[in-house]
Amino acid sequence: MRVNEENIYLVKAENDHINALKSFTLDERQLAFTSMPVPAYEKCQIDHDRFPVVIMEKDQPVGFFVLDRGDDTFSYSDNTKAVLLRAYSINRPEQGRGIAKASLQLLEQFVKRHFPNCHEIVLGVNEDNEAAKKIYLGAGFIHTNKKKNGRSGPQAILKYPVI
């Protein structure tokens, strides 16, 4: 069943979301490309340059990602006003319903609200992760024609100008 995009929204992850995030599953192939939500959330508690975000459908967490303003960002972009999108995932049972597309359509406004000085969102997507590349490019991210080595092979670096 396709998602009703009006029911999708983004919120800063809080401790109240942990139990739902613990129940998230990803298939083995996806785990090669992204992190599970709880370990990524826990890193945010230590590294305050990382901002954890939950993708909500009505009142239920269905996805997760991190916006990172730390030094890692500069291995993806020379723009000092960039934010790095990382650890993006949609809970396995919710995949294929359009949640990723809907959440990425909300991303620019969310970033403007929480990072008003941000001019660019960057990310690295594994070159073998065709599904993710298609979603990001469909959401308006563009190739920078730069590459970076990631934990599972070469990554294409994509960017999204925040206007």
pLDDT digits (tens, 9 = 90+) for 117-148: 999 999 999 998 988 999 999 999 999 999 99
Round to whole Å and give the CA distance between 157 and 86. Answer: 12
What is the model's pTM? 0.94
Spans of the chain below 50 pLDDT: none
Closest by CA to 3, choosing from 54, 52, 55, is 55
pLDDT at position 10, please?
98
The pLDDT value recorded for residue 94 is: 96
Look at residue 151 in the predicted model and tell me its pLDDT: 81
SS3 labels along 105-141: HHHHHHHHHHCCCCCEEEEEEECCCHHHHHHHHHCCC
56/141 Cα distance (integer angstroms): 22
Torsion of CA 124, 130, 135, 136, to 10 degrees: 20
Tokens representing 4 are: 């009703």
How many C-beta atoms surround the C-beta of residue 129 within 10 A?
Answer: 21
**Domain boundaries along the sequence of the chain:** 5-161
Kindly report the CATH number that applies to the domain delimited by 5-161.
Answer: 3.40.630.30
Q: Whole-angstrom Cα distance, residue 5 to residue 157? A: 27
**In the prediction, which pLDDT does 116 show?**
96
Output the CA–CA distances (angstroms, integers) from residue 122 to 67, 75, 111, in the order listed: 10, 10, 12
